[in-house]
Amino acid sequence: MKIEQIKTIVLTGLVLLSIVLFWKIVTFQQNYGFARDNQEYVNEVNIDMKKDIKELVYPMKVVYRVDDDVYKGTQNMEDITKIVNELHKWEFYSFQNSTDEFNYKFRDIADNQVMIFQYPGDIPFSLTKSIFNVTVESQEIPEQAVFNQIFIFRSDVINDDGVVYFATSDLRSVIKARVKHNYLEDFQKVMDEFENKGYDYIALSNNIGKYIYVQNEEMKLPIFQFHTQKLSYDLFKEALFPDPNFVKQEGNSFTDGTSLLKFNVVTDSFTYVNTSIPENTEENISDMISTSVQYINSHSGWTDSYYYSNAFQKPNKVVFQLYLKNYPVANDHSRMELEIGDNKVHSYKRPFVEYVSFASENITIESGEKIIEKLNTDNIKFDDLAIFYSYGPKKVMQPSWFYKQNNSWRKYSDETTRRE
């Protein structure tokens, strides 16, 4: 064989090899770009649990107005979930505006017995189909509306067909829904049991018509020590980056050039930011909540007990609050916070630990009325008042009164508990 022929064969082989390698590079870049830009393309990593929206959206308080100035209530999430799960059995249909009718029943008839479900943040009506058994078409639901409270009058659950009212926090917008269940009247037994077991509450109203419900008797709650079990950095690296093989580590930070995952060992939390996704685009709250839940479900990221807390626009943020011993934990690093852009997750902040409690003892919490008197004396304005756990010295969780001001919960600094 002539040398020229050998050169031709070798040259042809090199050209073919170059074409194959070029094709592999192109298809790899396309696949990597798809994985980076499409958040539905995820690695199968199961950190803990997946949850439906209905398992995450619960009231912060349930209150029962027994008479004109007689209220019973609770913040205990175990008690709240038992009651709300009864509502999950009902069939909801026929939504219509009913503000005037509601105000007559609630404000004008002051002794009209009613159970009130007060949520920590606004909930879009378009999510009712994900929370309750709604049997109407989506276009029949007032999707642009939101609700913050649910009202069930005792007189409206006396047979198998009843009425439930969804209201905004200021009661200026109220939507009525019909409900059906074979044993709907049995909910009156739930009300009776709640009247016997609930704590004494008082109701305060402000000049815009908003009601604040506050526990008005002392109660015992555990103060407990805890330790944390750290979850592996690699678990979240595998879960959050589209291709972990391209991720580089520097100390407690990981990056693939587009996204950054940074762990804070002091606060036991991390922040993940995807710079390819814009911030503060036009989003509706319903889609933001759904996107956040789907994103956390993509890596089975529901550790401990978290519940929907609130959602905000610009910045587009969805917040889920940690609960321990059935009460919320007030700490900047005890929440999951997701920022949304273009219907995708731009940033994701959360703890990377699970909590284990031990060595508890009871303490007594002062009544809410005493805290209100102190707040008024100190000329502190507040939008709500509730009991939270907060971090104490030596890894102790202690319950205390917190007041809400400008969408933030702040601890009342006066001593509000005493040990047993």
The residue written with tokens 């939101």 in the block is 146
**pLDDT at residue 143, as a whole number:** 76
Rg of the chain, C-alpha, whole Å: 27
Query: Mean pLDDT, to the nearest integer, of 367-383?
Result: 93
Please, which residues have CB within 8 angstroms of residue 333's CB and are 6 or more apart in sequence?
264, 267, 268, 269, 351
Q: Is the pLDDT of residue 131 over 80?
A: yes
Query: Mean pLDDT, to the nearest integer, of 212-235?
Result: 93
Q: How far is CA 361 from the centre of its chain?
A: 29
Q: Is the pLDDT of residue 66 over 90?
A: yes
pLDDT over 70 percentage in the chain: 88
Lowest mean pLDDT among 232-236, 348-352, 405-409: 405-409
Give the 3-state secondary structure of 183-212: CHHHHHHHHHHHHHHCEEEEEEECCCCCEE
Query: Mean pLDDT, to the nearest integer, of 91-101?
Result: 94
Residue 382's pLDDT band, with cuts at 50, 70 and 90, is: very high
pTM: 0.88
pLDDT over 90 percentage in the chain: 75
Asked whether 409 and 334 are in contact (CB, 8 A), the reply is no
Q: Is the pLDDT of residue 123 over 50?
A: yes
Lowest mean pLDDT among 3-7, 50-54, 158-162, 352-356: 3-7
Cα separation, 297 vs 19, whole angstroms: 41
pLDDT (tens digit per residue) in 241-285: 999 999 999 999 999 999 999 999 999 999 999 999 998 899 999
Asked whether 89 and 83 are in contact (CB, 8 A), the reply is no
Which tokens belong to 134? 């709604």
Residue 21's pLDDT band, with cuts at 50, 70 and 90, is: low
Strands 133-134 and 91-97 come out as parallel
